[in-house]
Each structure stands twice: as C-alpha cells, then as structure tokens.
Amino acid sequence: MTKSIVSSSAKAWEQQNSAYEVLEEEAKPLGSYKVIATYSPTLADELDIQPGDTVTILVEYDDGWVQGINETRGGIKGVFPRHCVDMNRASNKANKNNKRSSSMGGYTERYTEVDL
C-alpha cells in the first residue's frame, strides 16, 4: 500500500510541476530592466547579476523574488531578488505608460487643487 501511495504522489508531483513549467514558458515577459544591485547565487536556480546588466523579467513572485534572463551574461535564466533591478525605469516602451497602483487600491490619477 505504501508503494502505491508513493507512486501516485510522485506522479501527481510530476504532473503539477510539468503544468507549472508550461505556464511559465507561455507567459509574456514583463519587460527588460537594468540591474542596480549585485546578487550572487546561493542555490542552483538563482541568477548571478551585476549592476549594469540587462535582465528580462519573466515572472514576478509575491515573495519579493523574480525570475528572469540575464541578457548581458549569455541569456542565463534564474531567480533573484526584485530589489536588485530598477523596475521603475523600463527599457521597453510598453511599461513606461503603466499607471501607478495606490496602496489603498485602485489607481492614482493626476488631480488639480481646488479651493474649498
């Protein structure tokens, strides 16, 4: 019985992992950005980046990490901390016109001051 459970668990994990990889590959890149801080990998899936490198961000995770490709150093793919790139200054025009999201929800709009 244990053998059956282990076998079915392994099969389920493989299917889930396979589906996750397909989702990552189908996602459109979020943009290309300049690296502003060094990150030296400590695990095999992490990416070495240096200030001045250009990286293409593929996925942004909710834990402060991103997955990207270091275009400057041979197109190597990996994860690294989001704070290492300046995502406010996109090198592609598509991201330059995005509205800034407010911490209160919704979007911030330009306003004019009115006398009350």
Q: Which CATH architecture has domain 31-89?
A: Roll (2.30)
pLDDT of the residue at 1: 59
Average pLDDT, the chain: 74
Provide, rounded to the nearest whole percent, the portion of the chain with pLDDT above 90.
49
Question: Model-level pTM greater than 0.75?
Answer: no
DSSP, residue by residue, the chain:
-HHHHHHHHHHHHHHHHHHHHHHHHHSPP-EEEEB-S-B--SSTTB--B-TT-EEEEEEE-TTSEEEEEETTTTSEEEEEEGGGB-TTS-SSGGGTTPPPBPTTSSB---------
Q: What is the pLDDT of residues 47-86, one digit of tens each?
A: 999 999 999 999 999 999 999 999 999 999 999 999 999 9
